[in-house]
Chains A and B, each alone.
Chain A
Amino acid sequence: MNAVRAPSILPGFGMTLGFSTFFLCAIVLIPLAALVMRTATMGWEEFLAIVLDERAVASYRLSFGAALLAAFINSVFGFVVAWTLVRYEFPGRKLIDAFIDMPFALPTAVSGIALTAVFAENGPLGQLLAAYGIRVAYTWVGIVVALTLIGLPFVVRSVQPALLEVQRDLEDAAETLGAGRFYTFRRIILPTVLPALLTGFTMAFARGVGEYGSVIFIAGNLPFETEITPLLIVIKLEEFDYAGAAALGFIMLVISFVMLLSINLLQAWGRRRMVAAGR
């Protein structure tokens, strides 16, 4: 183990780190290395041509844009849901709380099919929205809806414990100092919950970018318009173009990795600041 670590009397560092690193390597790293190697077999220019292709770029814009929008919607509504579940008591609260995890459990294909059925123009909600000229299924809106569903648990489940933990004292302090509830929310609660919200946002976003199963059912899959990057990868695969698929996958992987890493670094930094406070 060449990792440098701070001394601790607890045992098992070598074993647990060794095992988890081994497991990670076997299941995640080596296979991903295969992807990178496959990408590397093609020339630099060829790689650029594939990843900068007009259609690919359009798909990034859609995939990342829709995931971003969905994560944003989730940040707002997921926060409201988390708040409601944490702060209010009402009949059925526990049930709803349990149901938040459903998108994790529901096979994505099923969520896609079911969402399409609901939001298609002849579906129960689709009809309602169609009356106002809003088309959901087979448009980018549908993609956002699917990604919102997929990402919802990430936001709610990150924010919930943070909200539970917000020291009641802080809110009480703000109140005795004369702050109204909205002011307290904006200046005290939101900044305190922000790291958790950010984590939820990132996870929802990261998950949304790669989502395939549920999106292909509800998206129109029209190139340049409603074609997501994972679909483009599948198309490359259908053309037996492994290198091209690997290249697109590689780009997505890099973006996701950088994003996750920066969030984790940000959180580690924040935690160190908090720990320093405890001393």
Chain B
Amino acid sequence: MAGGPSKALLAELATRPGRDTLASTATKGAFIAVSLLFLAALLFAPLVMVFATALSKGVLPYLQSFQDADTVAAIRLTLVTAAIVVPLNTVFGIAAAWAIAKFEFRGKSVLITLIDLPIAVSPVIAGLIYVLLFGIQGWFGLWLQEHNFSIIFALPGIVIATLFVTLPYVARELIPLMQQLGNDEEEAAITLGAGGLMTFFRVTLPKIRWGLVYGVILCNARAMGEFGAVSVVSGHIRGLTTTMPLHVEILYNEYNFVGAFAVASLLTLLAVLTLVIKTLVEWRTGYRKR
């Protein structure tokens, strides 16, 4: 999605008669200035704050904060959660996008809305609903306890809550892309005798792969960063059910600001890293999305 203008287009725009005037230069300058100011105040200031605080005592304390056993456990838990959640939601996103983009059927808008819904549901409620289901007083609570399954206040609960919150991201990315790309190539593949899976892997997947990568990256970033929903179902057991975002809060509340922001900066870096990889891949393949 991080597609920019093509060089040729920009070059053409710039050489247009009447385009290199003072007014247009000023407009361009103003637009860039407003954008940068807006982003600086809203986006970059907090980010700088995160890193400044994390490094406020120097690099060594920053690095040492990752040696803490609980921090390591939180990082591991977050990675495990993401490793389970992201593939599941990727499969779901692809399946849903296939059904929605490739076929016309009744109730499609409702389905799309249901997929969007988790974005609109307050994370607190997202956590609450699983407590209502799997809590000891919930629908399945007693049965679960009798059979010694723990869902909430354990890894499965964290995974499910994260699944809920990150469910829309891959699908949302793929649906418009696949709708826009149309069915022609798939239909051609089918008429040439390809099976469904072959059509998908050989025809559809190569077309949508960058949209998919972007969706997966967003889904992953959100999965690692989810706070509200996980907070409700986690039980906050130190070193066991605290994910990185929860651990940030814990450290912050222990007045361990360096540690808290170090973990936060790690989350930020993870996100930046994935975004950089995505940009690099785009650049290498000359791909511009949409």
Contacts and interface: CB of A to CB of B under 8 A. Distances in A.
Interface string B181-208: 0010011001100011001100000000
Given A99-B39, A109-B245, A212 B228 contact: yes
Nearest to B92: A23
Given A38-B132, A94-B279, A212-B124, A3 B107 contact: yes
A104 B252 CA distance: 21
Contact of A104 (B98, B110, B113, B222): B222
A212 B245 CA distance: 14
Interface in B1-31: 1-5, 7, 9-10, 13, 24, 27-28, 31
Interface in B25-82: 27-28, 31-32, 34-36, 38-39, 41-47, 49-50, 53
Contacts of A9: 187, 190-191
A11 interface: yes
Contacts, number: 335
B289 A249 contact: no
Sort chain B's interface into a size bin. 35 or more
Interface string B116-157: 111111111100111011000011000000000000000000
B170 to A, nearest CB: 11
Contacts of A19: 91-92, 95
A147 B274 CA distance: 24
Interface string A228-251: 011001100100001001100100
A51 B264 CA distance: 36
B103 A5 contact: yes
Contacts of B138: 34
B117 A110 contact: no
B105 A3 contact: yes
A35 B128 CA distance: 8
A31 B130 contact: yes
B106 interface: yes
Chain B, interface SS category: helix
Interface string A97-141: 111111111111111011101100000110000000000000000
Contacts of A101: 217-218, 221, 271, 275
Chain A, interface SS category: helix
Interface of A: 3-6, 8-13, 15-17, 19-21, 23-24, 27-32, 34-35, 38, 77, 80-81, 83-90, 93-94, 96-111, 113-115, 117-118, 124-125, 145, 148-149, 152, 157, 160-161, 164-165, 168, 181, 203, 206-207, 209-213, 229-230, 233-234, 237, 242, 245-246, 249, 252-253, 256-257, 259-261, 264-265, 268, 271
Given A8-B104, A105-B270, A111-B46, 14 more contacts: A31-B133, A84-B35, A98-B276, A104-B221, A107-B225, A109-B227, A113-B248, A149-B46, A164-B5, A164-B290, A207-B120, A210-B122, A253-B120, A256-B117
